[in-house]
Amino acid sequence: MTYTLVTDLARNAMLVTALVAAPLLLVALLIGLLVSVFQTVTQIQEQTLSFVPKLIGVGLTFLVGLPWMLQLLVEYTTRLFRSLPGLVG
């Protein structure tokens, strides 16, 4: 195993991780921003007001995006397992 191969494997793993996590993080970020603006305008400083909408939004995004996320992870794992004989030998 060369350093280039290890670097390439790590880069691909981080790319797949970022692709899977990005939609969930973006939804949490947008909902958090909207709730913060709402709290600032109405001067309501309730901690659970920001948590519950984020939880619902991320949960719905997860349910909607789950087939795509699973497909991406299965393709990555399949490519990794198919390339194992070439990596070892």
Question: Predicted confidence band at 81 (pLDDT cuts at 50, 70, 90)?
Answer: very high
Tens digits of per-residue pLDDT, 45-78?
887 888 999 999 999 999 999 999 999 999 999 9
CA distance 28 to 45: 19
Domain extent listing, the chain: 32-89
What confidence score (pLDDT) does residue 89 get?
67
This prediction's pTM = 0.82
Average pLDDT over residues 6-22: 95
Tens digits of per-residue pLDDT, 20-44?
999 999 999 999 999 999 988 988 8
